[in-house]
Amino acid sequence: MSDNIDILKDEEKEKLNTIKVDAVDVNNSNEIQQSTHSHSKNWLGGVILIAIGVIFLFSNISGFYLNNWWALFILIPAIGSFGKAWNGYRENGRLDGEARGGLIGGLILTLVASAFLFNLDWGMIWPLFLIIGGVGALLGGWLK
């Protein structure tokens, strides 16, 4: 009988050790995910600055000139919106409301920036805003 009790005690100790090891693994993986997530935000700003610098350098070297170069800064929140959409899709595995909102917002900001950069006629492109809104409404109805 005492042998059975000793065996049960040993099994219980092994289970507790296993639970402790699993808890440590979960904590370590959470820390790794948090540090990776913070690094993903940091590199986005660097990529944006590099891209804008390359555009200005290309303009200086080639003589190509953008009349409304300031519109490039509208692309910064557009890229942030696309990043939000991508992160929402990646976390949930589907295009939920958060991801859809980021996608539609990014498309609208990109359209506005393109209109300013390339001197597009607002009277000609305004239907694109309706199309983007319609696509967003369709995606919302299909994905609920």
Rounded-to-integer distance, Cα 127 and Cα 132, Å: 9
Give 105-112's long-range contacts (Cβ < 8 A, gap of 24+): 105/78, 105/81, 106/78, 106/79, 106/80, 106/81, 106/82, 107/132, 108/132, 109/74, 109/75, 109/77, 109/78, 109/81, 110/75, 110/78, 112/71, 112/74
In tens, the pLDDT along 55-95 reads 888 888 887 777 788 888 898 899 889 988 888 888 888 88
Mean pLDDT over 95-122 rounds to 90
Whether this prediction's pTM lies above 0.85 is answered by: no
Report the mean per-residue pLDDT for the chain. Answer: 79
The answer on pLDDT for 40 being more than 70 is no
First to last CA, the chain: 60
Mean pLDDT over 114-133 rounds to 92
Mean pLDDT over 27-56 rounds to 67
pLDDT at position 66: 73
**Which of 23-27, 76-80, 116-120 is least confident?**
23-27
Identify which has the larger pLDDT, 72 or 41.
Answer: 72
Mean pLDDT over 91-106 rounds to 87
pLDDT bracket for residue 45 (50, 70, 90): confident
